Amino acid sequence: MFVGESLINMRILHNLSRRQLAEKVGVTEQAIWQYENGYAFPKLEVVNKLKTIFNVKATYFYKPDLLNKLDTDNIKIQHIAYRSETINSLNKSQSELMHVRFVDAFLRKIEKKVSYPRNVLLELRRDTIKFLKDNPEMDRERQIKYIAELARERIGLDKESNKNLLFLLEKAGAFILEKEFAENIDAYSLWTEDDRAYIILGSVKKSAVRRNFDLAHELGHLLLHYKVEFTMQDKKSYKLLEDEAHAFASEFLLPEEIFRRDCEGIVKLSNPDAYIDIKQKWNVSLQAIAIRAFKLNIIDYQQYRYYYMLINKKGYKNLEPLDDKIPIERPMKIRSILRLLFEKNIYSVSSLMNELRVDESFFTVLTGIEEEFFKKYRELETKIFSVSELGIEGIK
């Protein structure tokens, strides 16, 4: 029997309304509603179109999906923190919620034989909450500064660089994925109810330095805004939360004492090109450096304005010096887990495809890992048997 809930989950995962899906399939919006609610069952030709749209097998819609037996309340929509200038639309929030639910269910399925190291990020969150509770009268700016310094130390960043930030966050306990966002979102993050931290990064139009700021910004949300209901915020409150995450990112990426020392030898403080060595050292954008320098009174308002005038004049809003030379870090944790499972023959790509009733390309949609990775391991499954394995002893 056709399972309407499986179709609902797939449609929301792909951020499609019933009307949009109906147009793709060539049926009415009412028909999609009927399929999803069990009032009618689609013909085979419709199912074949659905499987192509969603990169699944036709049988996918005739059994409960990956989410069916798991606690989907493990991930709350109100706890998703978006790196965005505006509060995200409800339909997009639902789509991102569904994406993380699928990812979380997938990981819980495959990681049963994986042993993780100590969750440093969870410990850091708990220590942050304790610090804020013990210091309620402290100025918020000082609170953020302390937590940013503590985070650098605990995560293991070098004192004078931000090298390997993404790797160190994954090692500390975060699960980081890439995804191509259709709307004006740079990244988002959340804690699950069972204390898993996710950071989802945009996969396009990002330099290494901008990605670093996204990572630091989301880390700020994870530490400062645990259990905050983002979807319940008005514009003013939402902006305040974003401003705090920005402040954390600046403190975290450009530690005050060392950054001040780095700026001491600069003669033309209002010239962005004078900060290129600092950009290379910290892997932080020239624009973020300007904001930090202004905040710390290293440059005054007039110098700050002139700096940004040159940023626009030189075209650095779109492409800064070194943007095409500093390599972009890619998430490796989930890839490494899958590689381990495939190479130890605990799982194969084909066994996962058959069990979940999906195509290879669905794994790419889910994890952000390129399809070639899964194709490579699937091709290795085709074994060439030796003469001895076939039981042939030799030539007569």
The pLDDT tens digits for 266-292 are 999 999 999 999 999 999 999 999 999
Establish if 157 belongs to a structural domain.
yes
Alpha carbon of residue 212 to chain centroid? 12
Establish if 334 belongs to a structural domain.
no
The domain in which residue 371 lies consists of 348-396
Q: Provide the mean pLDDT of the chain.
A: 92
Q: How far apart are CA 152 and CA 188, in angstroms?
A: 20
Distances (CA, A) of 61 to 4, 216, 233: 7, 40, 37
For CA atoms 261, 267, 272, 278, give the dihedral sign. Answer: negative
Give the other-Cβ count within 10 Å of 321's Cβ.
16
| pLDDT recorded at residue 287 | 97
Assign 382 a pLDDT band (cuts: 50, 70, 90): confident
| pLDDT recorded at residue 280 | 97
Alpha carbon of residue 160 to chain centroid? 26
Residues 58 and 146 reside in one and the same domain: no
List CB contacts of 306: < 8 A, sequence separation 6 or more.
270
**126-158 confidence digits (pLDDT tens):** 999 999 999 999 999 999 999 999 999 999 999
Contact predicate 250/291, CB 8 Å:
yes
**213-268 confidence digits (pLDDT tens):** 999 999 999 999 999 998 888 889 999 999 999 999 999 999 999 999 999 989 99
Residues 297 and 369 reside in one and the same domain: no
Establish if 340 belongs to a structural domain.
no
Of 33, 37, 57, 34, nearest to 47 by C-alpha is: 57
Residues 118 and 163 reside in one and the same domain: yes
Last residue of a domain, which of 313, 334, 364? Answer: 313
Ranking 85-89, 101-105, 115-119, 161-165 by mean pLDDT, the lowest is 85-89
CATH assignment at residue 304? 1.10.10.2910
Domain count, the chain: 3
Last residue of a domain, which of 65, 81, 101? Answer: 65
Residues 385 and 297 reside in one and the same domain: no
Helix/strand/coil for 83: strand
Residues 259 and 387 reside in one and the same domain: no
CATH assignment at residue 38? 1.10.260.40
Angle made by CA atoms 160, 162, 165, in degrees to the nearest 5: 150
Q: How far apart are CA 138 and CA 153, in angstroms?
A: 21
Establish if 328 belongs to a structural domain.
no
Residues 23 and 172 reside in one and the same domain: no
Establish if 341 belongs to a structural domain.
no
List CB contacts of 287: < 8 A, sequence separation 6 or more.
308, 311, 316, 317, 320
| pLDDT recorded at residue 393 | 57
Residues 161 and 296 reside in one and the same domain: yes
Residues 187 and 59 reside in one and the same domain: no
| pLDDT recorded at residue 312 | 96
Establish if 322 belongs to a structural domain.
no
Q: How far apart are CA 262 and CA 256, in angstroms?
A: 10
| pLDDT recorded at residue 372 | 96
Assign 395 a pLDDT band (cuts: 50, 70, 90): low
DSSP 73: G
Q: How far apart are CA 339 and CA 222, in angstroms?
A: 28
| pLDDT recorded at residue 284 | 98
Establish if 103 belongs to a structural domain.
no
Helix/strand/coil for 56: strand
Q: How far apart are CA 197 and CA 250, in angstroms?
A: 21
Establish if 101 belongs to a structural domain.
no
| pLDDT recorded at residue 203 | 77
DSSP 273: G
- Provide, rounded to the nearest whole percent, the portion of the chain with pLDDT above 90: 81
Residues 269 and 120 reside in one and the same domain: yes
Assign 363 a pLDDT band (cuts: 50, 70, 90): very high
| pLDDT recorded at residue 392 | 60
Residues 156 and 294 reside in one and the same domain: yes
